[in-house]
Each structure stands twice: as C-alpha cells, then as structure tokens.
Amino acid sequence: MLIRLGLALALAGIGVSTGQAGGVCDAPGAPRPLQACLEIEKAKVANMEGETRDALDHLRRALAMEDLTNDAAATALGQMATTYAVAGDIERSLSSLQSALQFLPNDVWLLMRSCQAHTAAGYVAKAQRDCARVRKLLRRERDPEARTQIEEYVEFAEARLALAKRQPTRSLKRIETLSKRSNRSISDPYLGILKGDAHAAAGQRAAAIAAYSNVIDSPAPLPSDMRAQVLFNRGLERLEDGGVDDALGDIEAAASLAPQAQYLYALCSINLRQGQSEAAVSACERLIGIAPDNHVHLDAYGLALLRNDRPQEAVKAFAHALRLSPQSKLSYAHLKEALGHLDGRLRIEDVLPDSVRALYGE
C-alpha cells in the first residue's frame, strides 16, 4: 500500500491534455528547449493513461536533446521516476530520482518524492535522510504559501516513514495533525488510507475498518487499483475480526477491480479454510491464469482440487509445484495424499522426475 500511496501522490496534478501542453510549455520557467517540454508533457499524459512504454519513449527523446537545461533534465528524470513507479519498478524509479537530484540537488519536491519512494521500498535510513534535507531546506523558503504546502507533504511523508519504522502511534499523531489543517492539498481519501494502515499496524481493528470504510464510501475519486487495495486491507481486518463473509466480499470486490495474485490467493486460501471447495477452485483457477509458475499458488490450487474430489488434476498441480520447488515438503506431502485417492492408477514415478524423488528417498 505504501508504494501505491506514494505513486498516487506522485501522479497527482500531472494530468495535462495534449492540447494544453503547448500552453504549459509557453509559460515562464517551463523546461527548455520547447520540444523537450512538449515531450515531457506527452509523457505525463501517457502515464495518466497507463501507457508507460510511450511515456518512456517521450522522456528518452527529451533527455537526448541538445541544449537541455538542468531544470528540464531533472523534470524529465522525475517524470521517468513516475513512469517506472506506474510500471511497478520501484528500483528504477528510485534510480531516476537520484539522477534527477544530481541536476537539482536541493529541489524539495524531488527530495520529498525520494523520501516517499525510499520509504515504500523499505530503505528507512535513506528516507530519513531525504526528509531531514527537506526540513532543512524548508527554513530557507520565503514564500508562505509554498512553505505551508511543503510542510504538509513532509508531514505526510514522515507519517508514512513512522509507519515503515513500526511506530504506528507516532504515525497516527502526525496524521491527526494533518487532518486539522485547513485547505489541505492531500485529500481525505489518501489521509484515510494511511490512517487505516496505521490503526491496523497498531492492532486497532475496529478503527482500521472504520478508516478504510470512510475511504471506500467517500465520493472523492480514487484510482481503481488503490480502491482495490483498500478493500483488500479492510477484508483482512474483517477476517481477523471474525467477519469471514464480509471479508470474502471485500476481497472478491478487490479482485474484480484489480485481479492481482495476492487477492486471488487470499480468496482461494480463505475459501479452503471455510470448506468452500468450489469457490476455492474458482479463485485458484483465476490465480493460476495470471501467475502459473508459482509453487505456493499451485499447491493451493492442488488442495482446492483435492477437496473438490478431483485428485488426478490435483496430482498434476502438486507435481508442477514440486518441479518448480523440489524441496517443498508440504507439496510433496500433498502429492502423496492425492495419489492415495487414485488407488494405484498413478504412481509417484509417473509424475515426478528421478532428481526430485531422490530428495525424498523414493
């Protein structure tokens, strides 16, 4: 969730239509040369549409231009960081941000994004360094409006950093301070997501569920993948609270919005625990459809098939899991169980190579 939350804030406000790009690039202080600015604006539009390859092509063209100013290079690299974040490549996103900072080492917004990205990637010490530099630079800011906005974002970044450091109480205090600010740039849903995450980390299930519910019920727009993550998080909290049916409803809604492996695996596993073998098979089939070569997923699929009286298909799933991860004792035990249901119609040597069987003395 931290990665998605940081990404959403990085994307905030970058929606510029192709028709508007010329006006943006005619403004004083716009990146130069003009053609570089136009390419950067086209990349922003591509990012908003999820077209990351197109965005990268535009940005590479911008960066290859002669007479590129430092501001323009940093802007292009910053946008490249957003592009890689959209594509889920956090390491390249971080690398692009560090390259941008070589051109503008004291740019507070680049440092802020670097703090957010380092936090999301788990590089806590680097995130602390970035946020500390922002705080230091903030003292030099003479524009009261800019200073207020920067303070807001650094407080938000520090709230996320506290959560990454497993300090949910400190995170909640910062969130409370932020929530009292008037005319905030950070909208209620993004603050609510972080609040829910902090309550969940603190073990405050009811408060976490309430915070997530406020986000889900809010009329404010939220990207579908983030809404899916909030539904999933609420589902997990409801599951821990004993509300299995409500939890399954949330996780199914998340998987419908964004069919990600973690959502579908959760559906498969929970339905298995509840004895709902047909629902488990359905979820696992969707899971295998998007992640066919994960031995944990295959083991869950095999169990779902076995509990649904389909032992021969289960054997195939467990054998595939063992070929991917030969030392999985759990998959091996499940395979032996499935073979036992076939009354000798299939033997272990029929489904596993010698190299895998040898690990278990077969």
Cβ-Cβ contacts under 8 Å for 203 (sequence gap 6 or more): none
Flag whether 191 is in a domain.
Answer: no
Domain boundary, last residue among 63, 98, 117: 117
Domain boundary, last residue among 117, 135, 156: 117
Flag whether 195 is in a domain.
Answer: no
SS3 state at 166:
coil
φ and ψ of 222, to 5 deg: -145, 130
Flag whether 358 is in a domain.
Answer: yes
Count of domains for the chain = 2
Contact 314, 305 (CB under 8 A): yes
Domain that holds residue 107: 1-19+26-117
Contact 115, 130 (CB under 8 A): yes
DSSP secondary structure code for residue 204 in this structure: -
- Joined together, the tokens standing for residue 66 give 């002669």
Rounded to 10 deg, the angle between the 224-240 and 188-201 helix axes is 30
Domain boundary, last residue among 95, 117, 139: 117
pTM comes to: 0.80
Flag whether 102 is in a domain.
Answer: yes
φ and ψ of 64, to 5 deg: -85, -5
Flag whether 328 is in a domain.
Answer: yes
Per-residue pLDDT of the chain (362 residues; tens, 9 = 90+): 444 444 444 433 333 333 344 457 888 888 889 999 999 999 998 888 878 899 999 999 999 998 899 999 999 999 999 888 878 788 999 999 999 999 999 998 899 889 988 988 889 999 999 999 999 998 888 888 888 888 888 899 999 999 999 999 999 999 999 998 888 888 889 999 999 999 999 999 999 999 999 999 999 888 888 899 999 999 999 999 999 999 999 999 999 998 999 999 999 999 999 999 999 999 999 999 999 999 999 999 999 999 999 999 999 999 999 999 999 999 999 999 999 999 888 899 999 998 998 988 87
Flag whether 199 is in a domain.
Answer: no
CA dist., res. 318 & res. 26, Å (int):
62
